[in-house]
Chain A
Amino acid sequence: MGLFILRRLGVMILTAICLTFIVFSLTNLYPNLEKLAKTQGNFRMSDEAVTSYLTNRGYLQPRLVKYGQWLGVMPGYVIDGSDGETRARCAANRTPDENTATFCGIIQGEWGQSTVFKEDVSGIVSTRLGLTGKLMFWVMMVMVPGALIIGVLAGMREGSRTDRSLSTISIISTATPEYVSGVILIAVFATPLFGMQYFKGTATSAMDDANFNNFFLPVITIALYGMGYIARMTRASMTEVMTAQYIRTARLKGVSFPNIVMKHALRNALIAPFTVIMLQFPWLLNGVVIVETLFNYKGFGWTLVQAASNNDIELLLGVSVVSVFVVLITQLISDIGYVFLNPRIRIS
């Protein structure tokens, strides 16, 4: 078991390195850098000026070297610039002194500076992540129990009316992406158009003080889309289990129907949805970005959009690292959880 986790961890780190390298390469493409130089310097820079600006700040080093420095496994650059200034990656305001560290990458906790917010990336990421965490917590609280209950109820008697109605509901909810359900929900419940203005159409105030009134719509918008999907998975898994021979064995042993569902079917039926819930995270992240943009909730997703659309390279890299790790860790949890839930694999 320990070896298994270790191996999974190894693959995970390899994946993380590959992914961050891809992100790093894509954000450090020359057109991006050029744009950066012009926004930081001035918009009427000549091509030569751009080149020297970038060279002086280490942006034109070989890609692998830059990546190594950013990661913190290679010493940060110290460049005697063509404009006479000496700049070092690891110095506080780029001017090196005796306290300047040799390595300063994300491993050392140096995430760089955001050009848009003029703050430390690590600071921005952690506050924003906290806000998104609050949102996700409530999404999970609504989505997971709801989806499991719908799935189990629909799947325990396949083909029944209950099944058909609940399945249709879950199909509708999977067919409604967040930007559609969000728009519809806001139009219906946050504008006077239909006379049902019960909630607030923006969640900006929920950042400090979340309440039912300003937080319900964003939460339900994310939850709805994922809920249908998980419910359908649960239903599929439940119907499969309910037709299994051992359920017949239990029935012919004289076990009552509620007990068959609770004691015999549920555990076997929940193995597959568990994996699905965990693997939903990359997609939930999507939902978070959409909903935070739509409801103007300044969390992690909103930060991603800001960083990406303003060419804020360091911030975008930081956000990418965090989201890639969130996804990979949930995958790891899903793998381990699968093994724990399934005795067939656990004890072999």
Chain B
Amino acid sequence: MEPLSWTGSLGSTLIPALTIAAAVFVAGVILQLVMGFFAPEVKLQSNSDGTLQSRGGLLGRLEVYNGYLFTLVVFLIAAIVVVSWFMPYGKAGILGEISKQFLPVWIALIVTFVLSITFKRKLGLYGKLFDSTIGMIGFALVMFWVFTSIFVGLFDMIATHDPLQQISGIKNKTPGFPVPEGQDADFFPHYLLGGDNLARDIFSRVVHGSVIVMVIAPLATIFAFMVGITLGLPAGYYGGRLDTLLSFLANLILAFPVILLFYLLVTPEIVATGLPNYMAAFLFVFPLVFFGVLINSRYKTQGSKNTLYLALVLIPLAFLYVNVVSDADSPLHVWPESLDFITIPSGILVVFVSVVFVNSPTVYRIVRGLALDIKTRDYVAAAQTRGEGTWYIMLWEILPNARGPLIVDFCLRIGYTTILLGTLGFFGLGLPPESPDWGSTINEGRKLLLIYAHPALPPAIALLSMVLGLNLLADGLREESLKD
């Protein structure tokens, strides 16, 4: 087998065209930015069709051209993706082959976008997201990784090799290096993004890494929100001593440099003391408390319904809880092993717990601030004057009306959690060193960075695109939710 080149036979036509178009576009944007500073504030002009024309003149024309260029760039990228699908193996180069590997993701993305844009007026805030370009780009980036993790994690598609398999002879080899003859013939004939210092396929490691991130980051963020909401609402609503105490504790955690905290919490010695298990037992109670109080406050007046709903929600949750918390090798062994279906490796548990622990105080502060603001509204006073319980007021009158900022922060926080996970991986904390998660992979790659730069770059770019997507998504959501 020949090594693959980056662009294959597309290299002579489409790729140069794309490069030129992209370069011109970037130059145009910079020029436009510079001109924007010196251009006078232009008065708006209305057109007869009821639209507004914001600018004329040189700058206006430049803006129009930049718009066309951007469309051209997008079109060229799409063309490369589509064309490569129909080329025989090896002709489309590394980029083409990668794009072929992602075929299920492309299809899923297109289906999602077509459906969402068609029904966007019926979909509330989610639908409005498709009015904002920024939001759409962010959503596409996030969904790309979501679908990737689903197809990799559930269906074992996309990845070309086993992320842990080492094939001798490809150690630190550059992208497109062919797998030597006589190794395993079932495997894909090339290492698309090269091999790392243990001769594992980097491409497969990166797509497998997305599964770990996609499982831990959103879940940890959800738990952090549960903790933050359950503590932040009463602190903001009642104020007084409770608020002082909780805020002091939150500030205590916030004053801790995150890395120091990680180094103290995520070490084998700490795991040996069982501290993470106790913390998990404490933090994982919050969803139970939250949902219990949520349902009870709402249906308290209707006895039988209340019991039914509580049972429906709390029994499965409690079952999950003991399953997760109780483990044979943890100090909290309270549940018979024969009924224990979930065992979380202690490394993942400690990572999870510390990420939740670090994120909760910030969520607490946000929720507390929102509660302080919303509790002065008349509808809260109306609820008070009809004798509602305080938890009902907090969870059903205040919380739903704080959802806008909380959803936005949720997106941002998943990104932040992803960064934290990466940080942990970067310092080799928690997760096992062979784990394909992005942080650990960057950590592996950076050691030889000055000699072999290619192993560290793909996970870095993957993490960047994912966090960027979440940030853009949050920005789009914020903008759209502020509009009405």
Contacts and interface: CB of A to CB of B under 8 A. Distances in A.
Q: Are A and B a genuine interacting pair, yes or no?
A: yes
Interface of A: 11, 15, 18-19, 23, 26-27, 29-32, 35, 153, 157, 160-162, 165-168, 171-172, 174-177, 179-180, 182-184, 186-187, 190-191, 193, 201-202, 257, 282-283, 285-286, 289-290, 293-294, 301, 304-305, 308-309, 311, 316, 319-320, 323-324, 327-328, 331
Contact of A305 (B63, B252, B427): B427
A183 B263 contact: no
24 contacts: A15-B248, A15-B255, A26-B270, A157-B41, A165-B33, A166-B33, A172-B468, A175-B468, A175-B471, A179-B422, A179-B423, A180-B460, A183-B442, A183-B445, A183-B456, A184-B460, A187-B449, A191-B450, A282-B257, A282-B258, A285-B259, A286-B257, A286-B258, A290-B259
Nearest to A164: B134
Provide the main secondary structure of the chain B interface: helix
Given A15-B252, A180-B464, A26 B265 contact: yes
B257 A308 contact: no
A305 B267 CA distance: 12
A176 B252 contact: no
Contact of B449 (A171, A176, A180, A191): A191
A183 B446 contact: yes
A187 B273 contact: no
Given A172-B468, A304-B263, 19 more contacts: A19-B256, A23-B260, A27-B264, A31-B268, A171-B471, A175-B415, A175-B464, A179-B446, A179-B460, A180-B464, A183-B445, A191-B449, A202-B450, A283-B258, A286-B257, A286-B423, A308-B260, A319-B260, A331-B255
B256 A186 contact: no
Contact of B456 (A23, A35, A157, A187): A187
Interface in B226-265: 248, 251-252, 254-260, 263-265
Contacts of A171: 468, 471-472, 475
B463 interface: yes
B419 interface: yes
Interface in B154-185: none
A319 B254 CA distance: 17
Interface residues of B, number: 54
Contacts of B269: 29, 31-32, 35, 311
A165 B423 contact: no
B36 A162 contact: yes
A190 B29 CA distance: 28
Nearest to A157: B41
Given A304-B260, A308-B263, A175 B467 contact: yes
A162 B33 contact: yes
Contact of B423 (A29, A177, A316, A324): A177
Interface of B: 29, 32-33, 36-37, 41, 63, 134, 248, 251-252, 254-260, 263-265, 267-270, 272-273, 275, 415, 419, 422-423, 426-427, 439, 442, 445-446, 449-450, 453-454, 456-457, 460-461, 463-464, 467-468, 470-472, 475
Nearest to A188: B453
A177 B464 CA distance: 8
Contacts of B446: 179, 182-183, 294
Contacts of A172: 468
Nearest to B138: A171
Contacts of B267: 308
A160 B36 contact: yes
Nearest to A182: B446
Nearest to B134: A168
Contact of A184 (B258, B268, B457): B457
A187 B449 CA distance: 7
B271 to A, nearest CB: 9
A165 B252 CA distance: 38
Nearest to B137: A168
A197 to B, nearest CB: 10
A294 B442 CA distance: 11
B457 to A, nearest CB: 6
A257 B457 contact: no
Interface-centre pick from A176, A180, A316 (highest chain B CB count, 10 A): A180
